[in-house]
Amino acid sequence: MNRSKNTGVLLLMIVAGVLIGSLIGAVLSSFAPRLNYGPGPLGVRELGIDLKLITFNMTFLVDLNLAGLIGLVLAALLFKKL
């Protein structure tokens, strides 16, 4: 596998690990509230570009929690095993 495919697979696995970890943390938050602990939403709020013909409005937020970080680490370890 060449380097660009490796990078793409790594990125996909990291995003999937964070998403699945965060989802598991949200589902299990009533049983283990520490899994849902985190700094809250991080990112860029309401980035707007007005070109007079076209207007772009974009928001990029990531809601990190402990379960998402565990998922990220597990995804990186799984990638290393491949």
What confidence tens digit (pLDDT) does each residue in 23-79 have? 888 888 888 888 888 887 888 888 888 888 999 898 888 778 898 889 989 998 998
What secondary structure does DSSP assign to the chain, as a single string? Answer: --HHHHHHHHHHHHHHHHHHHHHHHHHGGGT-GGGG-S-EEEEEEEEEEE-SS-EEEEEEEEEE-HHHHHHHHHHHHHHHH-
Give the global pTM. 0.69
Buried b (16+ CB within 10 A) or exposed e, 41-78: eeeeeeeeeeeeeeeeeeeeeeebbbbbbbbbeebeee
What confidence tens digit (pLDDT) does each residue in 7-36 have? 888 889 988 998 898 888 888 888 888 888
